[in-house]
Amino acid sequence: MVVPAPPEAARELFGSKLPEAETYAELLAGPAVERGLIGPGEAARIWDRHLINSGLVAGLVPHPRQGAEPIELADLGSGAGLPGIVLAMLRPDIAVLLVEPMARRTAFLAECAEELNLGNVRIRRGRAEDLAGQIQADVVTARAVARLDRLALLADGLARPGGLVLAVKGASAGAELDQARPLLRRMGATDVELVRVGTGVVEQPTTVVSFRTALNAGLGMERTISP
């Protein structure tokens, strides 16, 4: 499928990484569509809906302190690599773990990482429920994975105590956050906020629900997650 030329917002966001972003856009519009990882109608809006939407999250990921180890980021339910692959491109200073249970998706992610020469990407096949406690990421991202109340529990299992969770949401973000607030309080989550990134820069800013997991692991609650 023909990929549209990157809009000006994409050129500004990706800067010197634009050639890699264009290659990834072609992978999404071609192999990802052919394998059913994204819908065939997505090619026409690959930049605004997917790449820019994901790339704007990069500014919310903390930078490591000078001399410290790289920030470890786990992208939960990475799917076709959104936002994980995009964040790895834009933030070579972080280590990105793409967490995805489906074999055909992990195969595609591996191909993308190789094609884009992303040395800061690792891939872990598995369900977040099964990997809870095995991964202790500084930051957990997720996009189009589950409603916030369920997603909060999944992300909590992959984050270190006090870790940052960035859940990329759409128009329902406010309603989902209102519904999830009681659960987040029981989890001991802090710094809960709804953030819109890219306002005044792009036509459709990225909406992110951000929170930190409980600092004291003992405050965490048992994770019973419905399918």
Q: For 195-210, write each residue's pLDDT tens digit.
A: 999 998 888 899 999 9
What whole-number distance in Å separates Cα of residue 57 and Cα of residue 205? Answer: 10
- pLDDT tens, position by position, 161-190: 999 999 999 989 999 999 999 999 999 999
Which helix (H) or strand (E) element contains residue 165?
A: strand 159-169
pLDDT computed for residue 217 by the predictor? 59
Q: ∠ CA 197-11-13 to the nearest 5 degrees?
A: 30
Beta-bridge partners for 124 = 99
Enumerate residues 6+ apart whose C-beta is below 8 A from 139: 61, 62, 71, 72, 73, 74, 94, 159, 163, 164, 165, 166
pLDDT computed for residue 42 by the predictor? 84
**Model confidence band, residue 1 (pLDDT cutoffs 50, 70, 90):** low
pTM score? 0.93
Q: For 111-121, what is the mean pLDDT?
A: 98
- pLDDT tens, position by position, 64-108: 888 788 899 999 999 999 999 999 999 999 999 999 999 999 999
Say whether 195 sits in a helix, a strand or coil.
Answer: strand
pLDDT computed for residue 40 by the predictor? 86
Enumerate residues 6+ apart whose C-beta is below 8 A from 33: 1, 39, 40, 42, 43
Burial of 62 (0-12, 13-18, 19+ CB in 10 A): exposed
Handedness of CA 145, 150, 153, 154 (dihedral sign): negative
Q: Tokens for 139? A: 């930051």
- What residue ranges in 2-156 does DSSP mark as E strands? 71-76, 94-100, 121-125, 137-143
Of the candidates 59, 77, 54, the residue with the CA atom closest to the CA atom of residue 158: 77
Beta-bridge partners for 137 = 159
Q: Does 3 score more than 90 pLDDT?
A: no
Beta-bridge partners for 98 = 75, 123
What whole-number distance in Å separates Cα of residue 220 and Cα of residue 216? Answer: 7
For residues 191 and 76, the answer to whether their CB atoms sit within 8 Å is no
Backbone angle region of 204, left / alpha / beta, with phi > 0 → left and psi within -120 to 50 → alpha:
beta
